[in-house]
Homo-oligomer: A and B are copies of this chain.
Amino acid sequence: MPERTAVAVVGAGYAGLSAALKLHDAGEEVLVLEAADRVGGRIFTGALADGTPVDHGGQWAGPTQHRLLGLAERFGVETFPTYADGANVELWHDGAVRHFTIAGPEDGPGMDEYIRATARIDALATTVDLENPAATPNAEDLDSETAHSYFERTVPDEDARLRLALAVQGVWTVEPRDISMLHLLFYVASAGSFEQLMEVEDCAQDSRFVAGAQAPALRIAELLGERVRLGCEVTRIEQDGDAVTLETSRGAVVADRVVFALPPSAAAKVRFSPRLPDARVRWWAKSPMGDVAKIHVAYPTPFWRERGLSGEVSAYGDPAVGVVFDNSPQDASTGVLVCFVYADRLRRWAALDGAARRAEVLDLLKRVFGEDAAEPVEYVEKIWNEDAFAGGGYAANPVPGTWIEYGERGWREPVGRIHWAGTETASVWNGYMDGAISSGYRAADEVLAARG
């Protein structure tokens, strides 16, 4: 006999857990089915040998991410400001090193035009319809070109385009060729502004979680207890007018409603019966995951701070690592740098063997921070493209055509008894933990409305 539950939630990332929490709060019986052996999805806190938590996945909180901060508050999970004192370092592709303390070096090549370009992007982003991006004025033109083509067309200065490319790598973990310009604008609008996406103080990288960003997820799972089932992969979902049957690696579950909260990459593996509407299938099929690895490099102390450096680095040109941040614990008991490798950089770097990958990362840190960076006490990689469940990160990025062709019907419209969550379905802070949480709440609201 299959197990029965009022609502089955597929996926225990922030989207699924938030949906389950809201349903549980409302007195509904929920069962969360998670393929991995942990909750959190693309949010995953590990630890260094000395116990210092390190976030292999999403990690930051910004002041306008009310849902994320609200969850943290509810569960007593503390945050602290991201370390950002001192100078940032820019390593230009010609080897020049520049120090600066705000959005970019005033004397950096292409800075003026870069700033003008981002202002134009912000202006265009204000026209985006966040509830239905396909309804944005001029949506067809914007969704018919890649961000690369838009930059080529509107930004004559090559140095400014290099800056835009690094920004796209950092925010979307892809090259400008890989995403629709409409999606780029939607994402900017969804966060509030280009600056919100890029900056630290009062922006998306404002704060960190003392215990790591997975902590609120772990607290929700604790509250739900046995209602979260790990190592339970959903392989098939069959619905009729009365119920939904989910086949899993640990037996069948029958539910009245389903909240489906997997990333598009994982969603594509599930067989649905009857076949889902074409728009739903295609929205997933045209939204490949981004490409990202995070590397944590630990030292006895955050020695760069004493030299007036924030730890933040932007590296143009050859290095695999595009951006570095200070990821030391709040008490600075150890020094931790987090390095991001993405898109083309990741494809080249991930093909190297482990020793070569490590050598290349440390080489960059030495160039910027000196010989003290040469001998870390610990070096830890997480290559998200090789993650069995996420298959990439941070998020899925719709390619040209996706939004105008399938956005209206395929984005998050429920299909019978199945409701769609996941950060990719969020209107605000799409692609972020906050978006995942709001998507879970929205799906829970849909279920509650349907169940009366």
Contacts and interface: CB of A to CB of B under 8 A. Distances in A.
A85 to B, nearest CB: 38
A391 B153 CA distance: 35
Given A275-B386, A285-B289, A386-B278, A144 B146 contact: yes
Given A268-B269, A285-B289, A146 B350 contact: no
Give the bracket for the number of chain A residues in contact with chain B.
35 or more
Contact of A278 (B149, B235, B279, B350): B350
A153 B176 CA distance: 18
Interface in A355-405: 385-386, 388, 391, 399-401, 405
Interface string A274-314: 01001101100110110000000000000000000000000
A175 interface: yes
A34 interface: no
Given A143-B177, A153-B153, A265-B285, 20 more contacts: A144-B149, A144-B175, A144-B176, A145-B145, A148-B400, A177-B401, A178-B401, A178-B405, A268-B268, A268-B285, A269-B271, A278-B350, A278-B385, A278-B386, A281-B391, A282-B385, A285-B288, A344-B405, A399-B399, A400-B400
A93 interface: no
A116 interface: no
Most chain B Cβ neighbours within 10 Å, of A152, A175, A278: A278
A347 interface: yes
Contacts of A386: 275, 278
11 contacts: A144-B176, A144-B177, A146-B146, A146-B149, A177-B400, A177-B401, A268-B269, A282-B385, A285-B288, A344-B405, A400-B400
Interface in A296-352: 344, 347, 350
A37 to B, nearest CB: 16
Contacts of A271: 269
Contacts of A275: 386, 388
Nearest to A268: B268
Interface in A25-68: none
Given A146-B144, A388-B275, A401 B286 contact: no
Contacts of A278: 350, 385-386
A286 B145 CA distance: 16
Nearest to A287: B285
Nearest to A144: B177
A289 B284 CA distance: 12
Nearest to A177: B144
A386 B276 CA distance: 9
Contacts of A174: 401
Contacts of A149: 144-146, 149
Contacts of A282: 288, 385
Interface in A393-422: 399-401, 405
Nearest to A278: B385
Contacts of A265: 285
Most chain B Cβ neighbours within 10 Å, of A148, A271, A386: A148
A399 B282 CA distance: 13
Contacts of A235: 235
Contacts of A401: 174-175, 177-178
Most chain B Cβ neighbours within 10 Å, of A145, A271, A385, A386: A145
Nearest to A391: B281
Contacts of A288: 282, 285-286
A149 to B, nearest CB: 4
Nearest to A343: B405
A176 to B, nearest CB: 7
Smallest CB-CB A-B distances: 9 pairs = A144-B177, A149-B149, A144-B148, A399-B399, A285-B288, A178-B401, A278-B385, A145-B149, A177-B401
Contacts of A176: 144
Contacts of A148: 144-145, 400
A400 B235 CA distance: 30
Nearest to A148: B144
A148 B181 CA distance: 13
